[in-house]
């Protein structure tokens, strides 16, 4: 059985008081009654407080990014060791905003993936096509390249530490969601790629999340598709009611 996961990417939102308040709100609503693993990704500066606040609960705290080097003269960056030292063991890599605004390429992401895996972090690896790719029917090629160049080099045993997050860029923060059928079509394609490149077992066991304008009122239908194992949520993860409404979409 694949893990069902709902992860909230808070992006550059919520100061320390707001982080505390949102976590309290989420915890007060008893999210333990779910089959899903729940992940939240606050900003770097609020990670440690979030880890402390969620200690002993079923909420996993993730970072939104990390540097590919273990240490060094990289002003303003955060290393894998720093994350581990505050008990953050999950990291989101390859989010489309990192790719678009911070120039993260597939090759750079391959290095980040290696560093994260070397230190036993779980990776939520994001990828997805832009609108122009879909309009020119190039979306399957783009997704395949992102996976081949950023991820497919890892060893078989490392796949247990990888969660995939398919996020079509045209659906992120736009209110435009991929239809459940479009999501399922791409997720099935990704699972076939996994089957052909890394084997049946890994293909069956790897969770593939969908991200892009998931809301409480569309989550259930998207999550009901056989190859969709949960979601990566941006805007709607900033309100406890909406986020847990989405979690409730997991059967």
Give residue for tokens 């900003």. Answer: 43
> How do strand 59-63 and strand 37-41 relate by DSSP bridges?
parallel
Residue closer to ligand PEP by CB (options 142, 219) is 219
Contact 112, 83 (CB under 8 A): no
CA dihedral of residues 44, 163, 131, 223 (deg, nearest 10): -110
Interface with ligand PEP (CB under 6 A), residue from 31, 94, 168, 211? 211
For 125, list phi and psi in degrees, rounded to 5. Answer: -95, 115
Does the active-site annotation cover 167?
A: yes
Examine residue 94 and tell whether it contacts ligand PEP (CB under 6 A).
Answer: no
Contact 205, 229 (CB under 8 A): no
Examine residue 121 and tell whether it contacts ligand PEP (CB under 6 A).
Answer: no
Contact 210, 228 (CB under 8 A): yes
Examine residue 39 and tell whether it contacts ligand PEP (CB under 6 A).
Answer: no
Interface with ligand PEP (CB under 6 A), residue from 128, 150, 168, 212? 212
Does the active-site annotation cover 32?
A: no
Interface with ligand PEP (CB under 6 A), residue from 94, 230, 235, 249? 235
Helices 16-28, 240-247: crossing angle, 10 deg rounding: 40
Examine residue 233 and tell whether it contacts ligand PEP (CB under 6 A).
Answer: yes
Contact 124, 110 (CB under 8 A): no
User: Which residue in the list 129, 139, 167, 187 is annotated as catalytic?
Assistant: 167
Is 234 labeled as ligand-binding?
yes
Examine residue 234 and tell whether it contacts ligand PEP (CB under 6 A).
Answer: yes
Examine residue 23 and tell whether it contacts ligand PEP (CB under 6 A).
Answer: no
Is 235 labeled as ligand-binding?
yes
Provide the minimum distance between the beta carbon of 4 and ligand PEP in the complex, in angstroms, as a whole number. 17
Binders in 139-198 for ligand PEP, by CB under 6 A: 167, 172-173
Is 211 labeled as ligand-binding?
no
Provide the minimum distance between the beta carbon of 123 and ligand PEP in the complex, in angstroms, as a whole number. 15
For 128, list phi and psi in degrees, rounded to 5. Answer: 160, 155
The Cα 17–Cα 109 span in angstroms is: 32
Residue closer to ligand PEP by CB (options 198, 243) is 243
**Helix, strand, coil: what percent of the chain each, to 5?**
50, 15, 35
Question: What residues make contact with ligand PEP under the rule CB under 6 A?
Answer: 9, 167, 172-173, 211-214, 232-236
Residues recognised as catalytic = 95, 167
Annotated binding site for substrate: which residue ranges?
Answer: 9-11, 173, 213, 234-235
């Amino acid at each position: 059985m694949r893990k069902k996961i709902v992860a909230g990417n808070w992006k550059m939102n919520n100061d320390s008081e707001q982080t505390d308040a949102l976590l309290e709100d989420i915890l007060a609503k008893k999210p333990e009654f779910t089959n899903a693993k729940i992940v939240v990704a606050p900003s770097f500066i609020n990670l440690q407080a979030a880890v402390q606040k969620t200690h002993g609960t079923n909420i996993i705290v993730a970072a939104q990014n990390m540097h590919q080097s273990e240490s060094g003269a990289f002003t303003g960056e955060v290393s894998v060791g720093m994350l581990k030292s505050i008990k953050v063991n999950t990291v989101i890599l390859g989010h489309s905003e990192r790719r678009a605004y911070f120039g993260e390429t597939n090759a750079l992401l391959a290095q980040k993936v290696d560093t994260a895996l070397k230190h036993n972090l779980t990776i939520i690896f994001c990828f997805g096509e832009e609108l122009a790719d879909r309009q020119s029917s190039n979306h399957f090629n783009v997704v395949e390249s992102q996976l081949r160049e950023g991820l497919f080099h890892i060893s078989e045993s490392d796949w247990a530490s990888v969660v995939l997050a398919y996020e079509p860029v045209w659906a992120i923060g736009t209110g435009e969601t991929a239809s459940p059928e479009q999501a399922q079509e791409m997720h099935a394609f990704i699972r076939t790629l996994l089957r052909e490149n890394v084997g049946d077992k890994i293909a069956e066991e790897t969770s593939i999340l969908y991200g892009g304008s998931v809301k409480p009122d569309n989550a259930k239908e998207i999550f009901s598709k056989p190859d969709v194992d949960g979601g990566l949520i941006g805007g709607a993860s900033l309100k406890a009611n909406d986020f847990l409404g989405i979690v409730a979409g997991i059967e």
